[in-house]
Structures are given as structure tokens and as C-alpha cells.
Amino acid sequence: MAPILEVENLEKKYGDFTAVKGISFSVEEGEIFGLLGPNGAGKTQTISMLTGVIPPTSGTARIAGYDINTDMNEVKKVNGLVPQDLALYPTLSARVNLNFFGRIYGLRGSELKERVEDVLRIVALTERADEIVDKYSGGMKRRVNIAAGLVHHPKLLFLDEPTVGVDPQSRNHIFESVLRLNRERKMSLVYTSHYMEEVELLCNRVAIIDEGNIIAMDTVKNLISMLGGGIIYVGLEKVDDTILQQLDDLPAVQEASLVQRPPVPPPAEGEEPEAESEPILQTPIVKIVAENSQQAVVNVIAFLNEQDRPLTSLEILEPNLESVFLHLTGKKLRE
């Protein structure tokens, strides 16, 4: 069976700036696929190209066999979009909003009524469907936004940061809706987020995207297994190649590397740099990828005590998608 979504070398440029840099991936039918990355990574730009909001600069994608460059009218019939920004009429009720969006898709009469009632049940808003949207909480507005993307029963649904700014109760409703759509209706979903715990909970496979590039893609389990037992950051007063090699050779340690080197401070305004001046040192940080973090910490501390090398800091990151992203990029998802 062919994937419901196939993306090939998709690129988006704005002048000299490339927002999406020739990415490729596919989504199988019935899969929840995650796009995980920080704000500005290219997630929204990617979804916008796939749903016809903006045209790609180059590359293409096929959704249910339709090409986004030549068959966008057909593409829009088989996919749904839940944008990050609310796309609702605030002075109208949820039911009237959904009737409006259903009519855009050509729904009429009893079919439209049934679809609206169906999506209201999915997002748990049936009892408050006739209230004006402007009186809803932020989380309830998000749920109506999701319902608007579902009213035409798409085969593939794109959700772009659907939980931003919502209360915990609405967040849980959104999670339940996503899982129910996938489990009961076999709907395929592409879910973007910069919250790794959401992607870990919901998604079968994940593409980690940063600065317009996909830097890793696999199942959540396989991505996390890249780190073995986790990552340990050890601060030392002084680091050289010998100590790095000795740490690297310790049992339960997979790899040791220096991630923070002593920088040369810039000269003060109006001063010329002094060629022979000593730099102001920052504490070096050694990154240790562990096969077993608990055992590695014990071994590392014992070794450093033997060497009379005092720790200046110690941080242990258990393996999850946040630590995978940090491992691959050197920065946190929400920096």
C-alpha cells in the first residue's frame, strides 16, 4: 500500500533565506507522524506548503496520490488543516462556525448536520455548541478549530501546534481526540510540536527538524535508543585530550567529548586586542553519552576522585526526545 503522504525535496525560499531546505519524508496510512522542532524550525512552513497555503519554491509532495503542484483542488478534498492561529468567527457560535466551514466543502442538508454533530462529539463540545466562540476559553477555541478541520472527514489531518496556550483539561481533550481519530477512524495525522512529551505520547514515528532540515527520523523508541542510557554533563576545571580518552574508556560510557571550550573574550570598546593576553576561562563541560547513566555516573565520579579532579557541575539527562534533540543540535527545543 502506498503512503498517504510522500514528500520529495520540498524547499521554501524567501529571497536569500531558505526556511525549508529540501526535506523528504513519508507518512503511512493510519499513522500519527510527528514533526518535532523548536519555533522557527520550518514546521509551519512545511505544513503550509502541503496544504496549499503557500507554494513551494521547489520539490513536491503527493497526498493520496495527488500532486500538490498540479492537483491542489483534489488535495484539499482529502486533507484537513488545523492551523496554529485560530481560524474562527468569534461572534458566531461553534455550531454556526462549523456549518460555515462544512458548506465551504460542499456539504448540505442532513449530511452537513450529521457531520457537525459528529465533530462536536469528537472535541467534547456538544453541550456548549450554541455559545458564542468569543466566550470560550482558549482551550475550547482550539477544540473548535480542530473540529473545523475535521468536518469534511479528511483522510489526512495536519495539526500545527494545536495545544499552544491551552489549559490542561483542553490539552487532554485534544490528545484524546487525536488518539480516537486514529484508533477508531484509521485517520492519518501529521502533528507538529515543540513539546517532546506530546510527540512521545501520540506519534508512531518522528522527524526532528531544525533550521529547515530534517536531522533525524525514526520511531520514538529508536530515536531515544540513540542515546543508550542518557547524557551526563560534567564540569571540570581543566580538560585535555588525555582525560577525555580516559573518560571515554570507562565502563558504561559510550562517548566523551568536550562541548564548551575556553573562549577568547572580545576587546573592550575602543581597545585593540592583545595578541599575547591570556583568555578569561569558562569552566569546560564534558558531554558523556552513557550506555547506562546510573553506572556511568558512579564510574565517572570514582575516576575523577582518583585523579583528584574536582567536579564543578553535574547534570544527568535521562533519554527522551528532548535529550535526543540536545544531543543532535547542541541546544534545547525551547531555547
Q: What is the DSSP string of 141-183?
A: HHHHHHHHHHTT--SEEEEESTTTT--HHHHHHHHHHHHHHHH
pLDDT over 90 (residue 332): no
pTM above 0.85, yes or no: no
User: Can you give the pLDDT at residue 272?
Assistant: 52
Q: Which residue, 185, 214, 208, 213, is CA-closest to 34?
A: 208
CA distance 48 to 51: 5
Which strand (E) or helix (H) includes residue 10? Answer: strand 5-14
CA–CA dist 202, 188 (Å, integer): 12
| Cα-based distances in Å from 64 to 7, 57, 68, 70, 150 | 12, 22, 10, 13, 17
Strand 188-193 vs strand 5-14: parallel, antiparallel, or unpaired? unpaired
pLDDT score at 2: 76
Give tens-digit pLDDT for 265-281.
444 445 455 444 444 44
Average pLDDT over residues 250-273: 65
For the chain, domains (ranges, CATH) are 5-225 (3.40.50.300), 230-263+280-318 (3.30.70.100)
